[in-house]
């Protein structure tokens, strides 16, 4: 809470300071620019809340901005509804627009998502032209200007804009410092890993888009109040979306103050260039502005705010989750222990006649095996045997063509990865992808969200997981400061923080030196000692022989053999699969 309080204090100081400055300015032109700065800052924050935190680039925030602007303009024109009310309506409609846009569009990813978002404001633009709303003017209310948000004194607009900015900042601060922000950051880092860690990615993305769109709608409505004229190009135009994006990226996407910094610099800069050079050297303002943006993108690709922080030698950025409940890095590992009921079945996981093909490739071919509760099972097989596909089937990334997967007696088919994680199956990935700006601890906290009801509990679980893998002393370090071994252990800790009953470990030994292999082996033994079942994939048999209780050997997606390590290493079929027929004869000779 400390960090959040500090944020709120900063927000208050900034906004009061800004308003006080406005009170000193008399020139109505400067006051207009001082009104537009917070307006675009809010638009930048809106974009940032969605795209900055989740990493899903939206080129279409103008759609929500425009809906807000037209809501205010048209309700005033048709029903004489005061902007004091219609601004709220604008926010609601904007948020609803976010929902409508999000539902179909989240089926797309990456560039396809960005391109689809680009289409929405274009569609709106043509719809509003077709409806005949090429130009809508907000009527001048001579009788009761105050009741219609029309003021003689331009300072009042600055104050109103600052109030909107304060609201947007507070909302962003609260969300960013909570499970919401962390979940989005996890999605940004690796959507699959986030889903596997128990985060319902679709839900969080939709919520983020709705809140962000509501912000854009409200500020779009206020923009109409300031501009007094609404045209499709002014509010749905490509420049509106681009402005939101440029302001957030320029200042620093995914940060609280980045968009504010962007707006405070870019809005007056472009306006001053325009005002003082536009009439002398027409177009020069666009050239200078463009170069300024390019320069920042080259020299500070993550945004100016990081460079400024580095320049002023500011402390390390506050780390989101650790701020929420304080650090519980010294949690007790026993918190993760699996209580096994007396009458529990012997098998925790039963796989029957599993089939999966990708086009003509039979990746998993009629595979059946069981996992005993509490055992350390190794799944081995040469490259391409279908090991990772099997994991993807088990944790729900891929649905099988036929067959069944039962975990503790209940089917896992058709469940989303985050639901499977909540049932108690966690996994690690072959390639660790930590979020570079989050501490080790926070990287692990993300894994705990599926299994916890509040941040405090999440931190406890994360602490326990770090304790178990022995990284409690590096909890504050950033991933860049970690060794390869520590990254692997972090990945394991993130899976453990979900408080799983079964953990799927994907090639954790790959590329580790012998000493590290021993350390990781120790950790895995400790994990099984807590009653957690471990299934581990590896293609090298050597390390596994010492570690696991039982092997399942795959070849070309089918079960080749199963049994204790001593039997497996002598199994001719296994030797043939790994080394070929020639070596089989050689091995048998010995």
Partner 1 sequence: MRLPLCFFMTARSFVLSLGLLTAFVYIPAFAQPAAVKVGLIVPLSGPWARQGQVMRQGAELAIKHINTQGGIAALGGAPMELLVFDAGDSVERAKNAAQRMVADEPDLVGAAGAYLSSFTLAVTEVTERASLSMLTLSYSDLLTTRGFYYVFQTSASGAYQSTNALPILLDIATAASGARPKTIAIVMDNTAASVAFVAPIKEGSALKDNNLELVVDEVFTPPLANATSLIQRVRAARPDLLLLLPTTVSDSKLLLEKMNEFGLGRGKLPTVSNGSAMGDPDLLQNMPAALLEGVMSVVGNWSLRGQEGIIEEYKNISGEPWMTQNALSEYGHMWLLKEALELAGVADKKAVAEALHKMDISNGAASYFPGNRVRFAADGKRIDAQLLVIQWQNGVPVSVYPDATAMQKIKWPAP
| 3-state SS, residue 465 | helix
Interhelix angle for 155-176 vs 179-189, to 10°?
A: 70
What is the helix, strand, coil percentage profile of the chain, to 5? 60, 10, 30
Minimum gap (Å) between residue 254 Cβ and partner 1: 22
How far is Cα 482 from Cα 184, in angstroms, rounded to an integer? 23
Positions in 467-496 near partner 1 (CB under 8 A): none
Q: Whose Cβ is closer to partner 1: residue 61's or residue 387's?
A: 61
Neighbours of 506 (CB within 10 A): 21
Q: Whose Cβ is closer to partner 1: residue 272's or residue 413's?
A: 272
| 305 torsion bin: left (phi>0), alpha (psi -120 to 50), beta (else) | alpha
Q: Does 45 bind partner 1 (CB under 8 A)?
A: no
Minimum gap (Å) between residue 228 Cβ and partner 1: 4
DSSP labels for 557-575? TEEEEEE-HHHHHH-HHHH
Question: Using CB under 8 A, which of 2, 21, 242, 294 touches partner 1?
Answer: 21
Question: Using CB under 8 A, which of 81, 114, 269, 510 touches partner 1?
Answer: 269
Q: Does 134 bind partner 1 (CB under 8 A)?
A: yes
Minimum gap (Å) between residue 49 Cβ and partner 1: 21
Minimum gap (Å) between residue 76 Cβ and partner 1: 13
**Stretch binding partner 1 (CB under 8 A), from 137-145, 319-327, 537-545, 580-588:** 137-145
Minimum gap (Å) between residue 38 Cβ and partner 1: 10
How far is Cα 177 from Cα 49, in angstroms, rounded to an integer? 12
Minimum gap (Å) between residue 128 Cβ and partner 1: 11
Q: Whose Cβ is closer to partner 1: residue 27's or residue 332's?
A: 27
Q: Angle CA(292)–CA(298)–CA(303) in degrees, nearest 5?
A: 80
Task: Strands of 187-335 (E only): list them.
Answer: 229-230
Question: Using CB under 8 A, which of 3, 32, 118, 545 touches partner 1?
Answer: 32
How far is Cα 562 from Cα 465, in angstroms, rounded to an integer? 31
Q: Does 416 bind partner 1 (CB under 8 A)?
A: no
Interhelix angle for 155-176 vs 28-47, to 10°?
A: 20
Q: Does 18 bind partner 1 (CB under 8 A)?
A: yes
| 3-state SS, residue 479 | helix
Q: Does 239 bind partner 1 (CB under 8 A)?
A: yes
Minimum gap (Å) between residue 158 Cβ and partner 1: 11
DSSP labels for 50-90? IIIHH----S-THHHHHHHHHHHHHHHHHH---HHHHHHHH
Q: Does 540 bind partner 1 (CB under 8 A)?
A: no
Q: Does 234 bind partner 1 (CB under 8 A)?
A: yes
Q: Whose Cβ is closer to partner 1: residue 74's or residue 321's?
A: 74
Question: Using CB under 8 A, which of 9, 147, 242, 275 touches partner 1?
Answer: 275
* CB half-sphere exposure, 517, CA atoms < 13 A: 15
- Nearest residue to 538 via CA among 482, 489, 578: 578
The strand pairing partners of 537, in sequence order, are: 379, 506
Q: Does 311 bind partner 1 (CB under 8 A)?
A: no
Q: Whose Cβ is closer to partner 1: residue 263's or residue 532's?
A: 263
| 76 torsion bin: left (phi>0), alpha (psi -120 to 50), beta (else) | alpha
- Residue 142: DSSP 8-state: S
**Stretch binding partner 1 (CB under 8 A), from 28-36, 111-119, 458-466, 542-550:** 28-36
How far is Cα 177 from Cα 1, in angstroms, rounded to an integer? 9
Minimum gap (Å) between residue 43 Cβ and partner 1: 12
Question: Using CB under 8 A, which of 1, 27, 80, 291 touches partner 1?
Answer: 27
Q: Does 436 bind partner 1 (CB under 8 A)?
A: no
Backbone angles phi, psi at 426, to 5 degrees: -110, 160
Q: Using an 8 Å Cβ cutoff, are 433 and 193 in contact?
A: yes
Positions in 276-305 near partner 1 (CB under 8 A): 276, 278-279, 282-283, 285-286
Question: Using CB under 8 A, which of 191, 200, 271, 375 touches partner 1?
Answer: 271
Minimum gap (Å) between residue 173 Cβ and partner 1: 17
Q: Whose Cβ is closer to partner 1: residue 135's or residue 567's?
A: 135
Q: Using an 8 Å Cβ cutoff, are 166 and 11 in contact?
A: yes
Q: Whose Cβ is closer to partner 1: residue 279's or residue 342's?
A: 279
Minimum gap (Å) between residue 86 Cβ and partner 1: 18
Q: Whose Cβ is closer to partner 1: residue 281's or residue 294's?
A: 281
Positions in 173-232 near partner 1 (CB under 8 A): 227-229, 231
Question: Using CB under 8 A, which of 4, 11, 36, 207 touches partner 1?
Answer: 36
Neighbours of 406 (CB within 10 A): 17
Minimum gap (Å) between residue 162 Cβ and partner 1: 9
Minimum gap (Å) between residue 511 Cβ and partner 1: 48
Q: Whose Cβ is closer to partner 1: residue 295's or residue 529's?
A: 295
Q: Does 33 bind partner 1 (CB under 8 A)?
A: yes
How far is Cα 531 from Cα 516, in angstroms, rounded to an integer? 23
The strand pairing partners of 502, in sequence order, are: 425, 533
Neighbours of 578 (CB within 10 A): 20
**Stretch binding partner 1 (CB under 8 A), from 12-20, 168-176, 183-191, 365-373:** 12-20
Q: Using an 8 Å Cβ cutoff, are 138 and 76 in contact?
A: yes
* Total of residues contacting partner 1 (CB under 8 A): 44
How far is Cα 309 from Cα 258, in angstroms, rounded to an integer? 11
- Residue 473: DSSP 8-state: G
How far is Cα 206 from Cα 106, in angstroms, rounded to an integer? 8
Q: Does 264 bind partner 1 (CB under 8 A)?
A: yes
Q: Which two tokens stand for residue 225?
A: 């109040």
**Stretch binding partner 1 (CB under 8 A), from 128-136, 246-254, 309-317, 436-444:** 128-136
Where along the sequence are the contacts to partner 1 (CB under 8 A)? Answer: 14-15, 17-18, 21, 27-30, 32-33, 36, 129, 132, 134-135, 137, 139-140, 142, 152, 227-229, 231, 233-234, 237, 239, 264-265, 268-269, 271-272, 274-276, 278-279, 282-283, 285-286
């Amino acid at each position: 809470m400390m960090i959040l309080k500090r944020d709120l204090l900063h927000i208050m100081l900034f906004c009061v300071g800004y308003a006080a400055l406005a009170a000193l300015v008399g020139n109505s032109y400067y006051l207009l620019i001082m009104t537009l700065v917070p307006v675009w800052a809010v638009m930048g924050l809106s974009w940032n809340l969605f795209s900055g935190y989740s990493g899903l680039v939206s080129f279409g925030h103008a759609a929500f901005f425009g809906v807000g602007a037209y809501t205010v303009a048209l309700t005033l024109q048709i029903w004489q509804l005061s902007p004091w009310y219609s601004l709220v309506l604008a926010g609601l409609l904007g948020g609803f627009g976010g929902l409508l846009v999000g539902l179909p569009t989240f089926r797309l990813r990456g560039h396809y998502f960005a391109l689809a978002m680009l289409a929405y404001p274009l569609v709106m633009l043509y719809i509003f032209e077709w409806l005949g709303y090429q130009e809508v003017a907000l009527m001048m209310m001579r009788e009761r200007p105050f009741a219609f948000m029309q003021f003689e004194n331009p300072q009042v607009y600055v104050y109103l804009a600052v109030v909107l900015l304060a609201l947007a900042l507070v909302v962003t601060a609260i969300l960013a410092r909570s499970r919401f922000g962390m979940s989005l950051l996890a999605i940004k880092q690796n959507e699959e890993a986030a889903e596997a860690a128990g985060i319902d990615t679709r839900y969080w993305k939709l919520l983020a888009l709705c809140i962000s769109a509501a912000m854009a709608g409200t500020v779009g409505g206020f923009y109409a109040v300031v501009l007094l004229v609404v045209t499709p190009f002014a509010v749905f135009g490509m420049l509106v979306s681009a402005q939101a994006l440029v302001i957030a990226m320029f200042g620093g996407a995914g940060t609280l103050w980045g968009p504010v910094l962007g707006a405070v610099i870019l809005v007056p800069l472009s306006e001053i260039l325009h005002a003082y050079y536009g009439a002398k050297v027409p177009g020069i303002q666009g050239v200078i502005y463009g170069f300024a943006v390019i320069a920042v993108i080259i020299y500070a690709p993550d945004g100016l705010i990081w460079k400024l922080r580095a320049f002023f030698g500011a402390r390390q950025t506050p780390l989101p989750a650790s701020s929420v409940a304080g650090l519980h890095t010294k949690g007790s590992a026993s918190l993760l222990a699996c209580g096994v009921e007396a009458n529990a079945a012997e098998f925790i996981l039963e796989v029957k006649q599993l089939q999966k093909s990708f086009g003509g490739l039979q990746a998993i071919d009629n595979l059946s095996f069981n996992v005993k509760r509490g055992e350390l099972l190794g799944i081995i097989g040469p490259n391409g045997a279908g090991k990772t596909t099997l994991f993807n089937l088990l944790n729900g990334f891929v649905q099988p063509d036929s067959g069944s997967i039962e975990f503790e007696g209940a089917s896992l088919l058709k469940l989303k990865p985050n639901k499977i994680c909540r049932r108690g199956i966690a996994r690690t990935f072959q390639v660790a992808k930590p979020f570079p700006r989050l501490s080790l601890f926070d990287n692990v906290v993300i894994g705990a969200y599926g299994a916890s009801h509040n941040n405090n509990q999440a931190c406890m679980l994360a602490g326990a997981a770090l304790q178990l893998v022995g990284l409690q002393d590096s909890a504050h370090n950033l991933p860049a400061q970690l060794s390869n071994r520590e990254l692997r252990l972090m990945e394991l800790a993130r899976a453990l923080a979900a408080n799983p009953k079964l953990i799927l470990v994907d090639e954790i030994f790959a590329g580790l030196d012998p000493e590290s292999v021993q350390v990781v082996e120790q950790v895995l033994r400790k994990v099984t000692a807590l009653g957690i079942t471990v299934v581990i994939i590896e293609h090298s048999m050597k390390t596994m022989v010492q570690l696991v209780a039982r092997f399942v050997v795959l070849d070309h997606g089918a079960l080749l053999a199963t049994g204790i390590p001593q039997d497996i290493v002598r199994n001719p079929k296994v030797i043939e699969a790994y080394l070929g027929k020639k070596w089989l004869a050689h091995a048998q000779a010995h």
